[in-house]
Amino acid sequence: MITLLDLFSIAAISAGTFFFFAGTVGLLRFPDSLTRLHALTKADNLGLGMVALGLIPRADSALSALKLIVIWALVLVSGASTSQLIGRALRRGRK
Amino acid sequence: MSIRPFLDLVLASLVLGVAIFTITARDLFAAVVGYVAYGLLLAFVWIRLYAPDVALTEAAVGGGVTGVLLITAGKRLGAPNVSQEAQPGPGLKILTGVLAALVATALGAVILMLPDPPPSLAPEAAAAIDGAGAGLGNPITAVLMSYRSLDTMLEKVVLILAVMGVWSVGTDKAWGDAPAPLRQQKAYAPMVFLAQMLAPVGAIIAIHIFWTGANAPGGAFQGGALLAAMWMVTMMARLVEPPRVDAQWLRLALVAGPAVFLISGLAGAITAGSFFAYPSGLAKPIILFIEAFMVLSIAAALPMLVAGPPSEGQDQ
């Protein structure tokens, strides 16, 4: 039987998959590194966030749900910082 | 019909594709990036083979530490373009190809000719663990620390030998100095932010992985590698500098793991009747005690491998 929580999971994970798909298309199709970086962060931040959100109702315990959120937060922090680093390396390379 | 076999096929072809990309990449940096991606994909393969312990190690060491090591090494080499180097002649190329094909064929033949069921030490090892009363919920840790303890101890000795090898590449004049900073630039705010946010969380997760390794996937190597990564991140952010290679605490940290392991093994010879045996009932606390020092040694050794040999005048 499909419950409301299952529907929520399906919707959130589908949305996350969409962002990953869009991010990948952007990564392959965008013209330069900065725009590609922009596409990639959408997949990382929103896509993974939605997938994590969709998986929370399916976690066995509150602790594993918390772990999912922590994983997302860690990816957010490292993704944002490394994008900044890559962006700076690009700007330096251009000068 | 399940979708899993197809996903496994996709994963296997991805691994092969990335492997081919890594060997054929002409650009050093691209090859390293390919190798890191290969390591992460391999971690997924290990998870699909129901080996989460190996997957954790592969992700931390194959994907993480080795990647940093290779990028740093590439930078030090001045990143020459491989295509500009002297190309091997056609004879050498064909010989290499034939040899590689022979090795691959032999490996494939051996796997196909395995008797059914394949010979395995697993039942024997499982019996030995139960017999020793290791008291650990995680059989992998029990095998590493109880059944194959000498191997595990020598593994750490190899790590120390590798650090000694790296250090001995330095010049005579630089001996005792600190390795060059991991990044030549001044501290950069986003990197400092990343290190300050990530390092405390990462250190806690590392200790958790080590601690939980007694009963669930995880262990000393995985935890130590993560701790090592956190030290490397803070060094890259220039929050801390690499220590002098003649620093007493560094050398103590490096030898602590194998030394404690060896002493416990010798103590086992007296108290429990054989070398590397643990007195029954005390096995779990002793193993965790040894592992704590091994985490320390791994966390000290891996960043020292990445930091490289001592270099003179690094204060400039």
ipTM: 0.80
Asked if residue B68 belongs to a domain, the reply is no
How many Cβ atoms sit within 10 Å of the Cβ of residue B149? Answer: 21
- Domain membership of residue B264 (yes or no) is yes
Is B155 contained in some domain? yes
The closest alpha carbon to B177, from B313, B304, B306, belongs to: B313
Question: Residue A77 and residue B191: Cβ atoms within 8 Å?
Answer: no
Decide if B286 is inside a domain. yes
**Domain presence at residue B108:** no
Q: Which of A74, A81, A88 shows the shortest C-beta gap to B201? A: A74
| Total domains, chain B | 1
Helices (H) and strands (E) in chain B, counts: 12, 0
| Residue B291 vs residue B316, higher pLDDT | B291
Is B57 inside a domain boundary? no
Structure tokens belonging to residue B23 = 């060997």
**Where do the H-state alpha helices sit in B51-148?**
52-57, 66-76, 90-112, 122-132, 139-142
Using pLDDT thresholds of 50, 70 and 90, give the confidence band for residue B132: low
Distance CA B304, CA B224 (A): 13
Model pTM score: 0.82
Residue range of the domain that includes B190: 126-316
> Would residue B249 count as lying in a domain?
yes
Is the separation of the CB atoms in A40 and A27 below 8 Å?
A: yes
Q: What is the mean pLDDT of chain B?
A: 84
Select the residue of B191, B197, B198 nearest A85 (Cβ to Cβ).
Answer: B191
CA distance B15 to A76: 26
Burial, B315: exposed, middle or buried (Cβ in 10 Å; 0-12, 13-18, 19+)?
A: exposed
CA distance B174 to B180: 11
CB B169 within 8 A of CB B248: no
For the ranges A3-17, B36-50, B233-247, B300-314, the lowest mean pLDDT is seen at B300-314
CB contact under 8 A, A81 and B191: yes
Whether B207 is covered by a domain: the verdict is yes
Instruction: Specify which of B98-102, B168-172, B291-295 reaches the highest per-range mean pLDDT.
Output: B98-102
